[in-house]
Structure 1
Amino acid sequence: MAKTGKSVSSPSKKIFVLDTSVILYDHDAVNNFKEHDVAIPIQVLEELDNFKSGNDTRNFEARSFIRLIDQTSNQKLISDWTALNRSNAGMFKVVLNEKPTKVDAEEVYGKGKTDHKILNAALSLKEENTDKKVVLVSKDICLRLKAKALDLYAEDYETGKIKNVDELYAGKTEIANFPEAVIDQLKHEKKLDASELELPPKSGNHFYVLKNKRKTANAFFNYSHKTLSTVSTDAIFKIKPKNIEQAFAIHALLDPHIKLVSIQGNAGTGKTLLALASALEQRKNFRQIYVTRPIVSLSNKDIGFLPGDAKSKIDPFMAPIWDNLRFIKEQFNDDEKMLAKIDELISSEKIAIAPLAFIRGRTLTKIFFIIDEAQNLTPHEVKTIISRAGEHTKIVFTGDIYQIDTPYLDSESNGLSYLIENAKNHPLYAHITLQKGERSELANLANELL
C-alpha cells in the first residue's frame, strides 16, 4: 500500500526537487535518484503542459514525463508521497503551492515568477523534513545560485554528463620511435596483422601516427579484424584532406564496416564539408543522403513565429549546409555533366536537407545520414536518432562541443560528448577530433586569439 503524508525517512536519504529544465532534458529523471525521494513542484507540471504540443524533442520529453507520472500515480493522489514503480526506489510527490514559513523566495526575489515558486516548494519541503537533506536539481545556473543564496542545496543534473571533458577521447594517438622496419612494411603491404605489433592496447577502432625520425606512417587500427592499415590522403569528390586528421575522418567516413562516425572540432576544421563530400563519393551505395541539423531559434522562439511557408522558415537554419554543397559544386565548374548530376540529386531529393524534427518516427534504411551541429542535442536525442537506423545505414555526427546554442546544455552534458565517451569502444564506431582550422588564416586568428 502506498505511503501518504510525510516521506518515511532514513538518515542518509535525501529529497531531490526537480525543475522543468531537468524534465525537458530527460523525461525519466525521476527514476535516476536510486533510493532517494523525488518531488516535482506543481509549477513544473504547468510549464510542461505548455511544452506538450509540437515535434521538438522537448515536446516529446514533456509528453513522456506526463504519461510516466500518470502511470506512477494510477489511482493514488500525487500530492501525497507515492512509491515509484521500480525496485529499491524512493517516493514521489507533486508539491502544491505551499509557502515556507521562514524564508519566502517570492518576498526576496519578487512575486509572480515561476522560478521563485519552485524555490518556495523546495524551501517548504526543507522545513517539513528537517531530518533529510533537500536538494534542488536544475540545469538553470541562475536558479541554482538563487537557491544557494537562500541556504538551499542545489546541483546540476549529472546523469549523462561527462566528467573530464578536457580528456575526452580524440580518436588518434601519435607514437614516436616506432620500429622503422614496421613503418616500411606497412607502407609496402598496406595492411598488417596488429596482434604482432607493439601497439598500446585499445578496445575500439583507433587512428595512429607512427613516427621514426623522418619516417611517418598514418594508420587505422580495426578492432574487429585486429589489423593495422594505411590511411590514404587522396581527394574524394575533388575535396583533398589538408591535414592528417582530415584524412583520418575521410577514412572513417568511407569505411563500409564503420556504421557510426563522430567528428568533433572547432569552426572551420572541415567537419561538415568532409562528411558531405564522403556521402557524395558513396552516393551509389545509399538510397538517399540526408543532411540535417537541430534548429535552435533566436530568443528560443519556435520557427512558427517566422514569416513565410515551411521552406522559408527553415532555409536560414540550413544555410551552412547549402554553403558546403555549393563549395563542392564549385570544384566541378569545368565539368558540366557533374554539375547537372549534383543538381539532379538535389531536385530528386537523393540529397535531402531538412531540420532534425522532420525525421521523427521514420526508419532510416540504406541512408547516409549526417547530423550537423550535434552538440546542440541531448544524450536522449542522440540515442533516439541512432535507434532509427535501419539496414545498411551510416550515421555521422559532426559538431563542436564548446560552441553550444541550446539552453541548459554544456560541453559536459551535450549529446555529442555523451556519444564520444560511451561509443568509443564499439567495433561499429570511429571518432576523430579535428584540431587545425582550414577555413582561412583569418578564421584561425579568431579561434586562436579571440
Structure 2
Amino acid sequence: MAKKGKTITIPSKKIFVIDTSVILYDHEAIHNFKEHDVAIPIQVLEELDNFKSGNDTRNFEARSFIRLIDETSKHQLISDWIALKGSNSGKFKVVLNENPLSIDAEEVYGRGKTDHKILNAALSLQEENPDKRVVLVSKDICLRLKAKALNLNAEDYETGKIKNVDELYAGKTAISNFSETIIDNIKKNQTIGTVDIELPTKNGNHFYILKNKRKLANVFYNHSQKTLSSVSSDAIFNIKPKNIEQAFAINALLNPDIKLVSIQGNAGTGKTLLALASALEQRKNFRQIYVTRPIVSLSNKDIGFLPGDAKSKTDPFMAPIWDNLRFIKEQFIGDDKMSAKIDELISTEKIAIAPLAFIRGRTLTKIFFIVDEAQNLTPHEVKTIISRAGEHTKVVFTGDIYQIDTPYLDSESNGLSYLIENAKNHPLYAHITLHKGERSELANLANELL
C-alpha cells in the first residue's frame, strides 16, 4: 500500500508516427518502440510501393516491411489498432488521409508534398489523443524541424545509433613505462602468454604499443588465447606499411583466426589499399577475392538514369577500387610474370569487383570479401552482409565514418560505427582506426586544415 502523501506516477503511453526514411533504414522498426503504439501514415505505404521494385537495399527494406505488415495484420483491418507481437508490445495502425482541425501543414508549407501529408497525419493523431504524447520519428532532419515548428514532437530513430562517436573503439592502446623484460621477451619469442602480465582490461582482441624509454614493442593481444604476439612491419605484395597503424591493420587482415575486420580512417590513410594487398597476398587460401562498395550517387538520380548496360553504369562507382589495384600492379613494374598473374586473376574473376547489390542472396564460401565505403551502409545492411559469410570466408569493412554520402545516415547511425561498437569484444573480430594520411602531403593538408 502506498504511503499517504506520496503519489505513484505511471508513464503515459506514446504514439510514434514513423515515416518512410525510418522503414528504409530498418524494416523492423515498428517492433522497437516497446509498449508504445506505432502509426504509419498511408502516404508511407504509397512511397514504399514505389520502392518495392529493384535490387538495392532500400528496395529490399520496402518489400520486407510490406510483407511484415501483411503478416501482422492477417485478416484484420489495418485502419484499426492491431496488437503487435510480444507480451509488452503496443499496437499499430495505418492513418488515412485526415486533416487536423487546428493546424494544417499543407496550408502552412504548401500542398501536394508527401511530407506535409505525413505531418497532417501526425497532427490529427495529436488532436485525437490529447492524453498521449504523439511523436513523429524520421531520419529526415528538415521534416523533424517542420514538425517542431507546428508544435509537434519529433525525434530521430535511435535504434542502432552510437551514443558517443568521439569515443568509438579505436583498436589500439599505447602504454608507456612498460616492463623492459617483457618487451625483450616478446622480441625474442614473438609470442608470449599474458597470465602474469598486467594489461588494461580488454574483453576482445586488441593492439598495443608497449614502450620503455628507447625500447618498443608493437603487439597483438589475442583475447581467446591470452597471448601477446609481435606485429611485423614487413611488406605484403610489395606494399610496405608506412606507420604502425597500417602494420596493425595488415596483421589483422593476415591473421587466419580473425574472420571479421574493420578499418576506419580518413581519406588517404590506406584502408582499401591494405585490404586489397592483403587479399592478394593470401589469394591461394581463398576461392575468390570479392571487392565491393555500395553505390551512392552524388546526384539525386538513380544509376538507372545513366546510359549503357549494368557494367557501364556501375564502373564509375568502382573506379577507386580499380585505381588501388592498378597501384599495386605498378609495384611490380619489371616483373612481367607477376603483372601477368594479376591480369589473369582479373580475367578469370579470381578478383571480382562489383556493386554490393549484386551479391544479394549469395552465400559467400571461401571468399576474401572486402566492403569499401562501409560508412554508407545501414546497421541492417552490415548484419545482412556478415550473415552471408560461409565457411572459410573473411569479411573486411573499410570506411570513414565522417564522410557519408547516404541520406539519413550520420557518424552515429551508419553501419560501420554500429559494427565497431557492437563487435569489439567478439573473438573473431579485430579493428583498427587509421589516423595518419599517407596519400600525399597535399591530401594531408585537406584533412588537417580544410
TM-score bracket, normalised by the shorter chain, equals over 0.9
Alignment correspondent of 1:361: 361
Is the contact made by 1:259 and 1:428 (CA closer than 8 Å) also made in structure 2?
A: yes
Partner of 1:243: 243
Deviations 1:166-199 (A, max 9, x none): 0000000000000111111111111110121111
In the TM superposition, what is the alpha-carbon distance from 1:303 to its structure 2 partner? 1.2
Quick check: 1:130 aligned with 2:130?
yes
Question: What is the distance in 1 between the residues matched to 2:189 and 2:285?
Answer: 27
| Aligned-pair CA distance for 1:12 | 1.3
Task: String of CA shifts for 1:103-144, please: whole Å, max 9, x gaps.
Answer: 110011011100000000000000000000000000000000
DSSP-derived class of the 2:420 partner: helix
Structure 2 gap ranges (5+): 1-9
Mapping for residues 355-434 of structure 1, pairs under 5 Å: 355-434=355-434
Q: Establish whether residue 25 from structure 1 lines up as the match of residue 19 from structure 2.
A: no
Cα deviation digits, residues 394-433 of structure 1 (max 9, x gap): 0000000000000000000000000000000000000000
Cα pair 2:298 2:405 within 8 Å, conserved: no
Number of the residue aligned with 1:4: none
What is the Cα deviation at residue 86 of structure 1? Answer: 2.1
Does the aligned pair in 1 maintain the 2:136–2:144 contact within 8 Å?
A: yes
Q: CA RMSD in A?
A: 0.7
Q: Deviations over 1:194-236 (max 9, x none)?
A: 1211111111000000001111110000011100010000000
Q: For the Cα contact (< 8 Å) 2:100–2:120, is it kept in 1?
A: yes
Fraction of identical pairs, as percent = 85
> 1:50 is matched with which residue?
50
Q: CA deviation at 1:11?
A: 5.3
> What residue is the counterpart of 2:294 in the other structure?
294
Q: Is the 8 A contact 2:176 2:212 kept in 1?
A: yes
Letter of the 2:239 partner, please give it.
I
Alpha-carbon distance in structure 2 between the residues aligned to 1:364 and 1:397:
15
Residue pairs, 1:23-172, within 5 angstroms? 23-172=23-172
Contact 1:11 1:132 in 2 (8 A): no
- Following TM superposition, by how much is the alpha carbon of 1:298 offset from its aligned partner in structure 2, in angstroms? 2.9
Which residue is equivalent to 1:446?
446
Whichever residue aligns with residue 83 of structure 2, its letter is A
Please say if residues 294 and 377 of structure 1, whose CA atoms lie closer than 8 Å, have aligned partners that are also in contact.
Answer: yes
Match of 2:187 in 1: 187
SS of residue matched to 1:119:
helix
Q: Hey, what's the Cα distance between the residues in 2 that align with 1:28 and 1:390?
A: 25
1:269 correspondence with 2:269: yes
Cα displacement (A) at 1:85: 2.1
Q: Which amino acid letter does the alignment assign opposite residue 362 of structure 2?
A: R
Say which SS state the counterpart of residue 353 (structure 2) adopts. strand
Structure 1 residue ranges without an equivalent (≥5) = 1-9
SS of the residue 1:250 aligns to: helix
Instruction: Write the letter of the residue equivalent to 1:273.
Output: L
- How many pairs are equivalent? 441
Cα distance in 1 between the residues matched to 2:74 and 2:304: 36
Task: Give the 3-state SS of the residue equivalent to 1:228 in structure 2.
Answer: strand
CA distance in 2, matches of 1:125, 1:430: 47
Deviations 1:253-299 (A, max 9, x none): 00000000000000000000000000000000000000000000232
**How far did 1:72 drift?**
1.2
The one-letter code of the counterpart of 1:25 is Y
Separation in structure 2 between the aligned mates of residue 61 and residue 171 of structure 1, nearest angstrom = 32
SS of 2:158's partner is coil
Any idea what the Cα deviations from partners look like across 1:306-339, whole Å, max 9, x if unmatched? Answer: 0111111111000000000000000001100000
Match of 2:177 in 1: 177
Could you tell me whether the CA contact under 8 Å between 1:55 and 1:357 is conserved in 2? yes
Secondary structure at the residue paired with 1:299? coil
The answer to whether the Cα contact below 8 Å between 1:52 and 1:59 also exists between their aligned partners in 2 is yes
| 1:6 paired residue number | none
CA distance in 2, matches of 1:432, 1:236: 18
What does residue range 295-314 of structure 1 map to in structure 2 within 5 Å?
A: 295-314=295-314
